[in-house]
Amino acid sequence: MESRDPRMESLCSFTLRSFRLEPQTWREFVSEEEKLLLFTSFFTCPDSLHLFIYRDAEAQLSVSLSFPADICSKLICVSKAGREAVTMETKPNFIIQEVQGDDPLSFLSAITEQVTCPLLSNPENSQGWAAGVAEEALRFMERQKNEAQVMKAQVDGRTFLPQPDALHDDHHQDNGIQEDSAERKLLDVKLVHACESTAIEWAELVSDFLQQDSSQPLLDGLKPPPSCEVEFWRNRLRNLQFIQQQLMSSRAQQVASILKTADSVYSCTLTEIFTHVQQGLMEAEDVTHNLEPLQEKLAEVEQLEYQQLRDNMVAVMEEVRLVWIRSQFYRKPCRIVVLLQEICNLFIHLSREFLRGEEVMRGLVADPGPVLDDVRLVIVTLQTLKEAYSQCRTQLDHHQGGLSHRWDFPSHLVFFHLDSFLNRLQGIEEAHCVSLQLYQLHQTLLSGVSGRMWSDVVQDVYQDFLGHVAVLSDCSCDATDPEDQSFQPHLDQFRAQVWDLERRLVSVLSRALQDCCASSSAAKLLQMFGFILERPLNQEQLRPHLSRLLEVVLTELDQTRLLVSSQREKADTFCRFTPSPAAVLCWTQQLQLRAQQALKNYKAAQHLCVDSGELQVVVQRFQQIVDLLQDFRDTVRSDWNVQLDSDSDFILEQPLIQHDQQGMLGVSSSQKLEVLQRELRYVSRETHMTLRPQAARLLTCRDDITHTYLNLSHMVSSYNQVVSGVLQVELPLIQDQLQDLDQSLLELQRNTWSSEGLQQLVEQQRQKVLMFCTTVMKARANMDTITDIIQGWVEELHLLQRSGDSLLEGGATEQSYSRLREEGQELLRLTQENQSLYGAQDSSQAWITYLDHIDDKVQDGLFQLLHRSLHFLCDSMNPQLQETGSAFEPSVGGGLSDLMKSVISDVYTAASLLPRISVSRHGNYQVSLQQSPDLSALEKEVMRRLLEVSEEAERLRAELDRYSHLWQSDRQSVMQEFLTYSRQLGPEEGEVEEAPPTLKDFRREIDSLRKLYTEVTHLDDVIALHGWLQVDRQPFRDSLLSIIQDWSHMYTQHLLDLLKFTRLMFVSSRQNRSDPVSSLLDSSGPEQSKRGTMMRTLQK
């Protein structure tokens, strides 16, 4: 095929546009030989009328001459206008259609109606055919089209009414036939017969459709939701409208006209069909219109959280009620029952989705609590649906429509499946509830003599329970599906196992109740195992053991009654921190609570008791105790009331304050007043006690009296604090103010607690006292500050600066001087502030005495500071000295004495830095302190010890002079003397015979130096003279050791030189074969001659 084929141009452009392809893709497609053969066959073969272009399963472009199967994408159908071949010279006459591949029936019908039938009905296309072939082919295609349309309508849920074939024959063949001819009559008979057959077929189709009912899925065992009901009526309405359109079409009217003209009996059939369709259409419109609000409400409910469904049940049932009332055609019990069943199916479906059916039993092992809450929520929600149904049914019973609007059908028809689902949920709820209760056994611990044994039994029960729960939770079936009966045997088996576990627990509970000696213990046991007492059989088994509980309760009540009776005869033996009557009342209240608890413990098992007389006995015994306690309380309240009134009368007549024997102020009868106030506080809590007049009066103004008492206590405490702590030098300064204050306080001593206007009077006097006390306390605080400053000098201030363990030569530090100056000014400021506080005059003798007192404190502090500094010099002087040779650096002579005198002078100078406090004394503090005998004695002691230590240091220097020959002697002269005489000559020795040293002499000298080295090495680095003068001998020792090493090196080096000389002589002797020493000496001169002589001596 040529590259530019005119037959392919239209196909190419349409295909590219339809599939949105690139031109290159089309060129590659038509270049394949297989595809090219198909195109050629379509163009040239008369039998190939259609060509299909589509995408295959791999999304590749493909072509076929037959209709392809399983087309999911769009498809292009190319049809020829005739059977003749399409050549390149002729103009191509194609019909090109684009259809969707997922609707083959519509495609087949359209092809037949729009392509095939017009081609066959055109006489020009069938001129060469045999007679009747074209007609038969046309009838076949018409039947094929009708079958396709019927099938397509069934797929779409609609009913298609096929048209008779004879109408087509009559339309195409009546042109050349006479009306009276036999052929015309034969055609009429065929036409009537075809119309009657069509009427019968239409009647069957319409009747089958109208007999369809929305309850069929329920009858088939399905569980459709209400949306299926709504969809059913929507489809019914659309189908009836479609049928009506077909009945109103021209061909259907032509069929009816033919039957009516022929006076056929099936003419009435068509009329009935039309009538039934009209009635069904009215019914479908009415039902669909009234179901729409219900469907909207149900769609809204489906979008809600499950927890919100319960609040919408009434609204759903209200919509159902409105459908019943408004819809004339839906007001039938069978239809409303179907709708209600479908609504139940919807909520069952939502419930199962919420519970996650396959997971609901697995929560038994992990945590049954949340699953149990969900199951209970579902049960309550579905029960709310039933309640809403009952409420709706009741409303319809009272509706104005009468009996026609009532729901007379049985309720079980509606809730058959819902009740089955609820029964299954109740079984699941029971399993989770029992599991949740039995899980508590893990923490169960019984006490008592046999408690350990019973606790082990309970734990065995718990372990068995865990095994049963694991088996039940592992079942693979859906527990929420009531149709699945495979779960019920598992649930029944679990119930039997739980019953066996409960029976064992009842046995443990029976034994434990027998061991109980207190009703509270029995009540705790019943509370602990209360879940197993819900079964009547377990209650019957436990009733014989409850007699023990009755005995214990009666015994406790009797003990309570005896305790009340015995306490009434005793004296007050109650709490020391609580008023005795209040403690008695509290004690009686506790006893009553104790009796109530015993009664409550017995009532915990009341539902297990058959004999009501036992409970009556317990109640009577309890009432006796209550009456006895009430009588006791009344007596206590009466006596307490009398005592309170007497004490209140006594307090109200007492003065507010008074002086004691020591002159201190005090609140009158303060302890008794506090006790009375505390008792009145307890009385205010008693609702059954009426006070007498005086006590009632005091109780009424209790808050005011308490406030006044606290103000008086504060005032008295402040006053006593000032008076008791007054100084001898301070009293003259405040004497006048104290007298004025005492005179003002006389008014408080004249008034009693029953006087009027106490609060204002007490507040005025309190302000005066507090103002005076504040002033005095501020002055005393300043005095304390002065004392602290002076004490700081004594304890913290260091006049002599220390560096490590040594005293610096600088004496007193500038930092210490600066501190003394600043604190001296602070002392002066505080003194002036106290003068302002006391209001003293400069010339007042009392103030001058006060200043002298402070001046004595300052001078005493300075004395202790100087005494401590001089004592430090006396005890802990630590001068730094260095030893070189046998002299001290620095010198311990006059230099050290001058240093000490300078330091002592600096110490005394510190006392001159402070301003004088006293105005009656002259001179500074330094002059006064220098005259102190104690300080002078310490100064002399320091100088004496300085002299002693100087003498000791001189003796130490003399001891070290025994090593002086080591650095004073000339090593070369000593060595020469040793080589000549083999020893060092004394100063008194004259002419001595020469005696060269031997190796033994060298060894003697070297060992002597080594011994001396060891001796010097063990000298101490530092020694303290008289415990305070430190002498550092390390530099001296290090220098002396270096000198000793030089002496030792001199001897050893001389021996090494001799050894070298010997080696040289040995070499020369081998050459000369003569006397090694003589020949070497002859050629070496006088120095080598001496060495040779010494060498011969060493050889000997």
> Is the whole model's pTM more than 0.75, yes or no?
no
**8 Å CB contact between 430 and 479:** no
Choose the final residue of a domain: 960, 992, 1022: 960
Which comes out higher in pLDDT, residue 241 or 877?
A: 241
Report, as an integer, the average pLDDT of 803-809: 46
**pLDDT-based confidence at residue 879 (cuts at 50, 70, 90):** very low
Using CB atoms within 10 Å of the CB of residue 737, give its burial: 0 to 12 exposed, 13 to 18 middle, 19+ buried: middle
Q: Are residues 553 and 488 in the same domain?
A: no
**Kind and range of the H or E run holding 482:** none
Assess if residue 298 is contained within a domain.
Answer: yes
Q: Give the domain range for residue 415.
A: 304-512
**8 Å CB contact between 676 and 651:** yes
The answer, yes or no, to whether the previous bond of 225 is cis (omega within 30 of 0) is: no
Across 115-119, 717-721, 961-965, least confident range:
115-119
Q: Are residues 988 and 1032 in the same domain?
A: yes
Assess if residue 1063 is contained within a domain.
Answer: yes
Closest among 920, 836, 907, 837 to 866, alpha carbons compared: 907
Residue with tokens 């039957």: 259
Q: How far is CA 895 from CA 723, 855, 888, 898, in A?
A: 60, 38, 11, 5
Q: How far is CA 633 from the centre of its chain?
A: 53
Reported as a single tens digit per residue, the pLDDT across 535-552 is 777 777 777 766 677 778
| CATH number where 738 lies | 1.20.140
**pLDDT-based confidence at residue 662 (cuts at 50, 70, 90):** confident
897's CB contacts (< 8 A; 6+ apart) are: 943, 946
Q: Are residues 589 and 628 in the same domain?
A: yes
Q: Are residues 210 and 317 in the same domain?
A: no
Reported as a single tens digit per residue, the pLDDT across 194-236 is 898 889 989 998 999 999 999 999 988 889 999 999 999 999 9
Q: Which two tokens stand for residue 248?
A: 């109103």
What angle do the packed helices 845-876 and 933-960 form, to 10 degrees?
Answer: 10
Backbone angles phi and psi of 1023, in degrees to 5: -130, 150
Choose the final residue of a domain: 904, 927, 960: 960
Q: Are residues 801 and 919 in the same domain?
A: yes
Mean of the per-residue pLDDT values of the chain: 78
Assess if residue 851 is contained within a domain.
Answer: yes
Q: Which two tokens stand for residue 339?
A: 């709708």
**8 Å CB contact between 259 and 195:** yes
Q: Which two tokens stand for residue 381?
A: 């929600």
Residue 172: what pLDDT? Answer: 41
Q: Are residues 854 and 838 in the same domain?
A: yes
Q: Are residues 335 and 285 in the same domain?
A: no
Per the structure, the count of domains in the chain is: 6
Alpha-carbon distance 4 to 8, whole Å?
A: 8
Q: How far is CA 426 from CA 232, 353, 415, 433, 536, in A?
A: 34, 17, 16, 10, 19
Q: Are residues 462 and 556 in the same domain?
A: no
**pLDDT-based confidence at residue 874 (cuts at 50, 70, 90):** low
Predicted confidence (pLDDT) at residue 3 exceeds the cutoff of 60: no
Q: Are residues 335 and 371 in the same domain?
A: yes
* Dihedral over alpha carbons 621, 622, 625, 626 (to 10 degrees): -140
Assess if residue 28 is contained within a domain.
Answer: no
Assess if residue 916 is contained within a domain.
Answer: yes
Q: Are residues 309 and 393 in the same domain?
A: yes
Assess if residue 1039 is contained within a domain.
Answer: yes
Q: Which long-range contacts (CB under 8 A, 24 or more apart) does 926-935 make?
A: 928/859, 929/859, 929/862, 929/863, 929/866, 932/863, 934/863, 934/867, 935/863, 935/866, 935/867, 935/870
Runs of H (alpha helix) within 53-165 = 104-111, 117-121, 133-155
3-state secondary structure of 258: helix
Closest among 797, 799, 821, 1032 to 902, alpha carbons compared: 799
Q: How far apart are the first and last CA of the chain?
A: 140
146's CB contacts (< 8 A; 6+ apart) are: 160, 162, 163
Assess if residue 1093 is contained within a domain.
Answer: yes
Triad 833, 834, 837: Cα angle to 5°: 90
**pLDDT-based confidence at residue 411 (cuts at 50, 70, 90):** very high
Q: Are residues 695 and 817 in the same domain?
A: no
